[in-house]
Amino acid sequence: MTRQLHEIAAEIRKDWGSKVNYAAKPYLDAMCSMGDVKDPYFADSGKSVVLYFLGNAGAWRGETAKRVKAELKALTR
């Protein structure tokens, strides 16, 4: 069973805290209101939102980050 994007985003916010990279923040904000990578977010696809987040989330590190990034990558395949 896969988690909804808003559930994953909540875990990211909890772990990353107030140090969310400014470039990743808009994509994290978008994921907070999304259910699935197939859902569009305005003119963007859900998949592109997740990929843009991953591309800008390099500063987020640790075991939780590693696990959640792998989960997000699996959702975009």
pLDDT digits 0-9 by tens, 8-56: 999 999 999 999 999 999 999 999 999 999 999 999 999 999 999 999 9
Mean pLDDT in residue range 65-71: 98
Whether residue 2 is predicted with pLDDT greater than 90 in this model: the reply is no
What pLDDT, on a 0 to 100 scale, did the predictor assign at position 1? 75
Does residue 41 sit in helix, strand or coil? strand
Report which of 75, 21, 77 is spatially closest to residue 53, judged by C-alpha positions.
21
Q: What is the pTM of this model?
A: 0.95
Q: Give the whole-angstrom CA distance, residue 3 versus residue 64.
A: 15
Tokens of 60: 């987020």
